[in-house]
Amino acid sequence: MSFRSAEDAQLISSFVEGGDRRAFDELMRAHEDRVFAVCLRILSNREAALDAVQETFITVYRKAQQFSGASAFSTWLYRIAVNTCYDQLRRSQRHLAQPLPDNNDPADSRSEETLQSIELRPDLERALADLAPEFRVAVVLSDLEGLPLQTIAEALEVPIGTVKSRVFRGRRLLAEQLRNFSGLSAHQRDEHDA
């Protein structure tokens, strides 16, 4: 058990058994940036990510007594964060499924604010957002957050082989999309020059 895991275990125990709110605050402070980063990369929108982080910690607060300690607290926390993001994505997809205005250009369906909100290269940001959620989550947790595959498997509650496959396919789709954007940009530059 790492130092952080041991400290987390002690803090969650203080909160659950003693109602120690400061222990909970400390847990939040220890993990809020990483949870935010995960949510931001998955949701591609800063406001939505902040909402997801809030919802994540409220869920942790409400379900703290259900934390069994079988996995590290951070793994459990990632599981809640990812599920919260999935819920948000489902809600936003329902929202997007509503009829679009007549003058809506599909190419501009995401606002500039959304696309430039996660501090990635714009093309990478768009390529990541275009991935199916299960691939996006795997790539974010593995390659942006640097989590071990075993931890990702536990957080997502899927076999490690599934995680490897999702990461592999996610990277491949991402690179292909980046190439598409690059080709498109070159084509646009050619048209502009002509």
Find all residues with CB under 8 Å of 154, minimum gap 6, and list them. 71, 75, 79
Does residue 118 interact with other proteins by CB under 8 A? yes
Do 137 and 60 form a contact (C-beta atoms < 8 A)? no
Does residue 19 interact with other proteins by CB under 8 A? yes
Tracing tokens 């990812």 back to the chain, one arrives at 82
Find all residues with CB under 8 Å of 136, minimum gap 6, and list them. 41, 42, 128, 129, 170
User: Residues 179, 180, 184, 186: which binds other proteins (CB under 8 A)?
Assistant: 179
> Among the candidate windows 35-43, 82-90, 92-100, 185-193, which touches other proteins by CB under 8 A?
35-43
Does residue 174 interact with other proteins by CB under 8 A? yes
Does residue 160 interact with other proteins by CB under 8 A? no
> In terms of Cα–Cα distance, which of 122, 127, 136 is closest to 89?
136
Q: How far is CA 118 from CA 20, 49, 50, 67, 98, in A?
A: 34, 10, 12, 31, 25
Does residue 134 interact with other proteins by CB under 8 A? no
User: Residues 37, 48, 80, 147: which binds other proteins (CB under 8 A)?
Assistant: 37
Cα distance between residue 12 and residue 32, in whole Å? 15
User: Residues 6, 96, 100, 175: which binds other proteins (CB under 8 A)?
Assistant: 175
> Among the candidate windows 36-44, 72-80, 82-90, 105-113, which touches other proteins by CB under 8 A?
36-44
Cα distance between residue 146 and residue 170, in whole Å? 15
User: Residues 5, 9, 30, 36: which binds other proteins (CB under 8 A)?
Assistant: 36
Residues that bind other proteins (CB under 8 A): 19-22, 25-26, 28-29, 32-33, 36-37, 40-41, 50, 53-54, 57-58, 61-62, 118-121, 124, 139, 143-144, 164-165, 167-168, 170-172, 174-176, 178-179
